[in-house]
Structure 1
């Protein structure tokens, strides 16, 4: 039976969470947006997923960089400064007494429309901002067992059609890829770029290990992943050869190991792609090493973020 890397064990505390909606903390049942909201009508907006460890939103600066850059690219005025939005995130965590094992979905849409139409000029009022925190961790059994991937026909397209660098609410191409993978009995879809090279997965980034080297796609046709960048960083710091390059499915099938990266679960091994299993046990030696290096990076970021927060008045 297929599984999702985003699967988690239900936590009863989530029934009573408070969700930040346009400056107000609302109980789960009351945290709603209008049917005229741009995000609901058209998927017009940007978002981020954040993990909280030891009271600190991980790699917050990088996530906010991506959020504000995406908003600027689509001429969306978030309406809050980075400092104000950071404070809203911290206030939401404090109101929910959340310190660890938390995942946040930060969503920004263009706001209310006076009629359901795509033209941004029919938007009335400010952007809609939602901060949705949950007690949620990736299932340890999924992380241990690894993922089964299936290469789908849905491609990561050219940036002049829909730029894959934009973390928008409009994710239908990834959803159709996910559906195809599920119907094939896989956990996650492996997506190719328009030239037939490996690009990314439908909700995570993809890496292979060959003869002690770590490869990932050129990055031209995938989102600028925060965890992807962090894994590349720890490889370089540790002297592990890491390459962003074009490679084909043939090179995937003959790899020693493979893994996926994402904010929610970190570094997760892949056990097979299109029915081809890897030579190394799952998780393999490189994946185990990178998981340890990534945990060290997380600890460093928590300490640095806590120091910055403590120094602020």
Structure 2
């Protein structure tokens, strides 16, 4: 995939510059240690205009990730939102994936930085997995222990774990992995949260061992509107294997159904599942076809 070309513009430290001309220091902690915070944000072409979905929530989480891990964050969120809309205009993007990244100054020691930089880029984005339901496997890799890191911070270095799990799954012929936590309970996918349907209710792993996804929160809000009960709890693999259906959700994947977990096939038709209902509701929300935002 080509993320940029000779005309692509990015935002770098209060300037719009050509991506091909942008430079960074090779002695930064972010490059050497993965000490950086980032976000994944979606923009959608709606009947009103191009809209960035929940921009404020994403930039607030970016700031929180920095605050939790000692990375200076000295930017105004309203200004960053405005700069991001301008970035989309400069690149003529309507449906896009947006990547803000806060990275650290040159420092080869294991100390917190005194200064940081910000970059925002964007590229055209379609459907992450397409329209298919996914073949998923329980990964041999676990989510990091929350006592070893701030699990709620979206940090670059954390995603080595995600790359290893996802790569292992694909090498085995699956579409994606599902990781357990350190106690053997269901946690999340490498880049998505999971919801599980059983007897007309939805279950999702409780916070504490997972990234508190913004899409996850949106799905829970939609469930309140649609009168769907959601239970947050520790979930065993046996419960998952005996469920009626399941789906992943996240900024990149949106809402995508799961067809199989390991050798277990979910028999009910996806279109009849709660997940399919929420998939349609979520799409209507981000495209502003239904004004859920009055409530959410």
**TM-score above 0.5, yes or no:** yes
- Of 170, 187, 190 in structure 2, the residue corresponding to residue 199 of structure 1 is 187
- Of 245, 250, 272 in structure 2, the residue corresponding to residue 257 of structure 1 is 245
Distance 1:28 1:221 in 2: 36
| More displaced 10-residue stretch of structure 1: 154-163 or 64-73 | 154-163
SS of 1:154's partner is strand
- Could you list the runs of 4 or more consecutive aligned residues of structure 1 that deviate by over 4 angstroms after TM superposition? 10-15, 299-305
| More displaced 10-residue stretch of structure 1: 217-226 or 152-161 | 152-161
Measured after TM superposition, the shift of residue 182 of structure 1 is 2.0
TM-score of the two chains, using structure 2 as the length reference = 0.89
Structure 1 stretches lacking a partner, 5+ long: 1-9, 306-313
Measured after TM superposition, the shift of residue 284 of structure 1 is 4.3
Show CA shifts across 1:42-92 (max 9, x none): 111111011001322111121122111111111221221112222221221
SS of 1:203's partner is coil
- Mark the CA change 1:301 to 1:192 in structure 2 (over 3 Å): closer, same or farther: farther
TM-score of the two chains, using structure 1 as the length reference = 0.85
Aligned to 1:162: 149
- Mark the CA change 1:195 to 1:220 in structure 2 (over 3 Å): closer, same or farther: same
Aligned to 2:265: 277
- Mark the CA change 1:17 to 1:284 in structure 2 (over 3 Å): closer, same or farther: farther
Residue 18, structure 1, aligned to residue 2, structure 2: no
Distance 1:233 1:33 in 2: 40
Aligned to 1:153: 140
Structure 2 stretches lacking a partner, 5+ long: none
* Count of aligned positions: 288
Residues 137 and 265, structure 1, Cα contact 8 Å, conserved in 2: no
- Greater share of helix residues, 1 or 2? 1
Residues 204 and 232, structure 2, Cα contact 8 Å, conserved in 1: yes
Residue 39, structure 1, aligned to residue 23, structure 2: no
Residues 60 and 77, structure 2, Cα contact 8 Å, conserved in 1: no
- Mark the CA change 1:21 to 1:304 in structure 2 (over 3 Å): closer, same or farther: farther
| More displaced 10-residue stretch of structure 1: 151-160 or 101-110 | 151-160
Aligned to 2:43: 52
